[in-house]
């Protein structure tokens, strides 16, 4: 289920990647790192999100488009080449954005908001099962578990970057380098932890394919 | 390879529109930049504050920000002000006369329209101000243009001595794209020249200036007609020709790559001759604009036939998809069916208040009191209108809670005679436009209880500083407003001003009950910091003893996102009434130990977590 097989950068020569989750999960940072990898390869890129109140635990969805020349920054429904969800129900919320046959990668962690806790709305009983029932190429795993194994839940977004790295129209190494570049000026332990989280995510996703 | 990639990333600027505007302001040699935070414009001044060599400030409101910029311009310095769309409503009093005086140093006003309303109380089209104030409007379509047009706007401003409106929208402000910078300029202030005829706008001086303003507008029309910022893409498919501006241009190009397109970068005064030229070459002229049919109506008024909002939506954001559907409607065709999967129904996830937010205690308390009418305001605390509190009844404009509360008091009939009127306002909103309303309440003897939520931050836009925090835009120490003294100076009796810790629920409850019973203005100030700023100090987290939790659900009424239901059940009370039970746990990894949920817990099931676990960033459920 690599990039070549799923026909990324098909008709328009533009790759559309949608990353979703909730405020505080690092969705925007992860997408930014992905954009930096694409830019380093000389692609034009545009990244956008509506994030006015996302810091307050609201929905965050980040659109990244890259290719020869990108015009509109937004991905249209049915035109995403890859959907990466940092939270199970959020992945389900945005699945209609995928092109038919394009892959979806999701964290299985569930984060239920106060409107669910106070009984106003229900959290889906089995969001990952619903995704599977749609017949999509799906990779689902608990990224929070992997991040916590490295001692820091904040590594979750790097785990997800590793997991998506073999779905891109460029080698996974390029994305790994972009992660390294992002943490270059930081403490060596922090860089090391992020690179290990990246590899762990990559291996976890690869194991799901095999 | 690693080094090469690192260098490539470091040398290429990938900037949001806001960031690009800030870079352009710096590179244009601007000396003074002022703003009040507001989505989607906030980051412009945040970025500017990081650049050395120019003066940047958070102003108390947009009107003051624009006046600061104007003062600098009068000194012959380049000046800049940024605001969201509703901010320009506030600043418009200054705008409508500074357009009469004109400017000296270049003055650019960036106004960011929240098209699609991600974080605003309304959607409005700021391009109207260009017409109303007779000032030129520039509309960039991406980050590179945001940079280039901001630079160009300063030049135009000085040549015509006119303020220039730089009209942005969310999809400029919050879209990142590649940007190449131009060589920076330096510009020394030319000095203040005393000239009452120019700067003192009394009728005798202003009257002779009005014709000059209209002459200037005519000259600007000629400039726009010839401007390189208005570009015609010839196109081969002449069935439809598009007139468009801003991010809508990108959508048009994407959806109709072969169509002729006139892109308006210098969109007011409208280059009508160019539009007429395009109209003559195509079967149909379609105007694509966000959000009002403004250009469309002006084109029609000039006698040129066009289509616009007949087939395109008048609200919200446009996109290639929306345009394709609109054009299909225009051609009388069925829109091509997309191959997309159906939208899967998922619960809404509105923004919530943060874990341990001091506002939680306030709204919990307000939700427990009966017979209140709660006049609300703009900030994080507007979320108090939502679940589980439902404890905010109005939200209109910055500072409106005050005047509306007074109006409610004066306008009430018999049916509302027993209601207590409470106004809720945050520290920054109070200083923005709430103080005058409080003055009206005291001056005209209103029976209103004011809750002034001082969390020492402009919370909703990311915790910016304001005159109440004691820090300037750089985080440097400055004078701090003393709220009790300020309220006293505004006419509230000293004994009717209380400062209360919002985490002490019984104290807050008692203060509110007592003050609402007294028939005169009173102010309850809560004084704990926003949890997102450094002033907030975490304390050890709490946990729920499973066996002790009775499922009463009292803690859920606090509305803290760290509290999760583990199991629901039903029970029958001795009275025979069936009640819902919700057994809970606390996500210890995000709990910061504020203790709000401990207080309403009837069986005392909430205790400090032992052993205390290190606080983590993201909550998680298994």
* Phi, psi at A96, each rounded to 5°: -70, -10
C-beta atoms of B559 and A36 within 8 A: no
Give chain A's domain count.
1
Distance (Å, whole) CA B571 – CA B576: 9
In a domain, A1, yes or no: no
* Minimal C-alpha gap between A209 and chain B (Å): 23
Nearest CA in chain B to A116: B347
- Cα B20 to its chain centre, rounded Å, is 19
ipTM value of the model? 0.93
Nearest CA in chain A to B173: A48
Kindly tell me the burial class for residue B482, based on how many C-beta atoms sit within 10 Å of its own C-beta (0-12, 13-18, 19 or more): exposed
Kindly tell me the burial class for residue B459, based on how many C-beta atoms sit within 10 Å of its own C-beta (0-12, 13-18, 19 or more): buried
DSSP string, B150-201: HHHHHHHHHHHT--EEEEEEHHHHTEEEEE-PPPP-----------HHHH--
In a domain, A10, yes or no: no
In a domain, A25, yes or no: yes
C-beta atoms of B338 and A39 within 8 A: no
**A chain contacts of residue B568, beta-carbon cutoff 8 Å:** 119
pLDDT of residue B559: 94
pLDDT of residue B611: 58
C-beta atoms of A71 and B253 within 8 A: yes
Distance (Å, whole) CA B400 – CA B333: 48
Task: Count chain A–chain B contacts defined by CB atoms under 8 A.
Answer: 213
Three-class SS string for B215-228? HHHHHHHHHHHHCC
pLDDT of residue B589: 85
C-beta atoms of B174 and A95 within 8 A: no
pLDDT of residue B580: 93
Q: Provide the token pair at B455.
A: 């969390």
pLDDT category at A3 given cuts 50, 70, 90 is: very low
Distance (Å, whole) CA B288 – CA B286: 6
Q: Provide the token pair at B242.
A: 């598009």
Which of A49, A73, A122, A181 to mutate to probe the B interface, most B CBs <10 Å? A73
- Cα A192 to its chain centre, rounded Å, is 21
DSSP string, B345-396: P-------PPTT-HHHHHHHHHHH--SEEEE--SSGGGGGGSTTT----B--
Nearest beta carbon to residue A40 from set B5, B460, B616: B5
What is each CA distance from B469 to B44, B82, B207, B435, B490, in whole angstroms? 21, 21, 43, 17, 20
Neighbours of B125 (CB within 10 A): 18
pLDDT of residue A152: 87
Q: Does B303 reach chain A within 8 Å, measured CB to CB?
A: no
Distance (Å, whole) CA B285 – CA B258: 15
pLDDT of residue B351: 85
Nearest CA in chain A to B568: A119
Q: Which residues of chain B have pLDDT under 70?
A: 1-12, 611-622
Distance (Å, whole) CA A207 – CA A46: 31
Closest listed residue to residue B93, CA positions, set B63, B65, B123: B63
Residue A9 has pLDDT above 70, yes or no: no
In a domain, A7, yes or no: no
C-beta atoms of B5 and A56 within 8 A: no
In a domain, A2, yes or no: no
**A chain contacts of residue B8, beta-carbon cutoff 8 Å:** 39-40
Q: For chain B, list the domains and their CATH numbers.
A: 10-226 (3.40.50.970), 231-330 (3.40.50.920), 358-526 (3.40.50.970), 542-608 (3.30.70)
C-beta atoms of B621 and A109 within 8 A: yes
**CATH number of domain containing A102:** 3.40.920.10
pLDDT of residue B271: 97
pLDDT of residue A153: 87
Nearest beta carbon to residue B618 from set A55, A123, A154: A154
In a domain, A44, yes or no: yes
Q: Does B425 reach chain A within 8 Å, measured CB to CB?
A: no
Which of A18, A37, A40, A48 to mutate to probe the B interface, most B CBs <10 Å? A48
Distance (Å, whole) CA B269 – CA B574: 76
Structural domain including A101 reads 15-114+125-209
pLDDT tens readout for residues A40-61? 999 999 999 876 555 678 899 9
Nearest CA in chain A to B246: A72
pLDDT of residue A39: 94
Half-sphere exposure of B50 (CA within 13 A, CB side): 7
Q: Provide the token pair at B403.
A: 């005047």
Name the H helices within A41-124. 88-93, 114-117
In a domain, A95, yes or no: yes
Q: Does B182 reach chain A within 8 Å, measured CB to CB?
A: no
Which residues neighbour B460 within 8 Å (Cβ) at sequence distance 6 or greater? Answer: A53, B39, B119, B378, B379, B380
When the pLDDT of each residue in chain B is averaged and rounded to a whole number, the result is: 94
What value does the mean pLDDT take over residues A51-79?
87
pLDDT of residue B139: 98
In a domain, A135, yes or no: yes
Interface of B with A in 542-571 (CB under 8 A): 556-557, 559-561, 563-565, 568
pLDDT tens readout for residues A119-157? 899 999 999 999 999 999 999 999 999 999 998 888 999
Nearest beta carbon to residue B348 from set A25, A111, A115: A115
């Amino acid at each position: 289920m690599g990039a070549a097989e799923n026909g990324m950068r098909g008709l328009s020569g533009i790759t559309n990647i949608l990353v979703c989750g909730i405020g505080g999960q690092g969705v925007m940072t992860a997408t930014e790192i992905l954009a930096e990898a694409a830019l380093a390869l000389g692609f034009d890129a545009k990244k956008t999100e509506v994030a006015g109140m996302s810091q307050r635990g609201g929905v965050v969805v980040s659109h990244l488009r890259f290719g020869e020349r990108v015009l509109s920054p937004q991905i249209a429904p049915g035109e995403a080449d890859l959907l990466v969800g940092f939270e199970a129900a959020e992945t389900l919320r945005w699945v209609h954005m995928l092109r038919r046959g394009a892959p979806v990668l999701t964290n299985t962690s569930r984060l239920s908001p106060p409107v669910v806790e106070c009984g106003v709305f229900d959290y889906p009983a089995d969001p990952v099962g619903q995704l599977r029932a749609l017949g999509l190429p799906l990779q689902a795993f608990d990224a929070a578990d992997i991040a916590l194994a490295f001692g820091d839940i904040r590594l979750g977004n790097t785990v997800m970057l590793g997991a998506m790295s073999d779905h891109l129209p460029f080698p996974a190494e390029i994305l790994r380098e972009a992660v390294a570049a992002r943490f270059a000026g930081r403490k060596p332990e922090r860089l090391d932890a992020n690179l290990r989280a990246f590899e762990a995510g990559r291996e976890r996703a690869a194991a799901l394919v095999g | 390879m690693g080094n090469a990639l690192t260098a490539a990333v470091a040398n290429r600027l990938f900037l949001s529109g806001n960031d690009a505007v800030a870079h352009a302001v710096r590179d244009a040699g601007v000396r003074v930049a002022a703003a009040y935070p507001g989505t989607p414009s906030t980051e412009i001044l945040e970025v500017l504050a990081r650049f050395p060599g120019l003066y940047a400030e958070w102003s108390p409101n947009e009107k003051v920000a624009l006046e600061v910029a104007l003062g600098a311009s009068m000194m012959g310095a380049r000046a800049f002000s940024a605001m969201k769309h509703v901010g320009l409503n506030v600043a418009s009093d200054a705008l409508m006369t500074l357009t009469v005086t004109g400017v000296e140093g270049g003055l650019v006003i960036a106004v960011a329209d929240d098209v699609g309303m991600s974080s605003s109380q309304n959607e409005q089209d700021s391009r109207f101000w260009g017409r109303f104030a007779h000032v030129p409007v520039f509309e960039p379509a991406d980050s590179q243009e945001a940079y280039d047009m901001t630079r160009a706007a300063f030049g135009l401003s000085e040549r015509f001595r006119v303020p220039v409106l730089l009209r942005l929208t969310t999809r400029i402000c919050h879209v990142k794209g590649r940007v190449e910078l131009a060589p920076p300029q330096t510009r020394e202030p030319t000095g203040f020249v005393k000239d009452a005829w120019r700067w003192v706008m009394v009728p005798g001086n202003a009257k002779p200036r009005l014709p000059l303003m209209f002459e200037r507008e005519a000259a600007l029309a000629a400039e726009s007609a010839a401007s390189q910022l208005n570009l015609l893409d010839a196109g081969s498919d002449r069935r439809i020709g598009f007139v468009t501006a801003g991010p809508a241009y990108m959508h048009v190009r994407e959806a109709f790559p072969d169509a002729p397109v006139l892109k308006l970068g210098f969109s007011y005064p409208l280059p009508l001759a160019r539009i007429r030229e395009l109209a003559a070459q195509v079967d149909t002229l379609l105007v694509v604009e966000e959000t009002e049919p403004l250009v469309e109506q002006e084109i029609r008024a000039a006698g040129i036939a066009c289509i616009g909002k007949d087939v395109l939506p008048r609200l919200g954001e446009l996109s290639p998809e929306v345009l394709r559907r609109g054009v299909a409607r225009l051609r009388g065709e069925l829109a091509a069916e997309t191959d997309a999967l159906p939208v899967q129904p998922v619960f809404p996830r509105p923004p919530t208040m943060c874990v341990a937010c001091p506002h939680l205690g306030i709204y919990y308390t307000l939700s427990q009191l009966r017979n209140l009418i709660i006049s609300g305001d703009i900030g994080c605390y507007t979320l108090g209108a939502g679940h589980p509190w439902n404890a905010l009844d109005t939200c209109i404009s910055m500072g409106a809670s005050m005047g509306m509360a007074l109006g409610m008091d004066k306008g009430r009939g018999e049916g509302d005679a027993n209601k207590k009127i409470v106004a809720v306002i945050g520290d920054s909103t109070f200083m923005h436009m709430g103080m005058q309303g409080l003055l009206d309440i005291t001056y005209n003897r209103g029976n209103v209880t004011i809750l002034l939520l001082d969390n020492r931050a402009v919370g909703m836009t990311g915790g910016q500083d304001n005159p109440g925090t004691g820090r300037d835009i750089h985080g440097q120490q400055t004078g701090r407003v003393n709220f009790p003294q300020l309220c006293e100076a505004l006419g509230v009796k000293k004994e009717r001003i209380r400062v209360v810790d919002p985490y002490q629920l019984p104290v807050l409850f008692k203060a509110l009950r007592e003050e609402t019973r007294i028939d005169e203005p009173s102010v309850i100030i809560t004084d704990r910091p926003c949890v997102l700023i450094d002033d907030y100090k975490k304390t050890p987290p709490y946990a729920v003893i499973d066996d002790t939790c009775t499922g009463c659900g009292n803690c859920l009424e606090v509305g803290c996102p760290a509290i999760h239901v583990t199991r629901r059940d039903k029970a029958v009370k001795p009275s025979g009434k069936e009640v819902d039970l919700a057994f809970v746990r606390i996500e210890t990894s995000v709990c910061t130990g504020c203790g709000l949920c401990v207080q309403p817990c009837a069986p005392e099931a909430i205790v400090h977590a032992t052993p205390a676990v290190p606080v983590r960033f993201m909550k998680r459920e298994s």
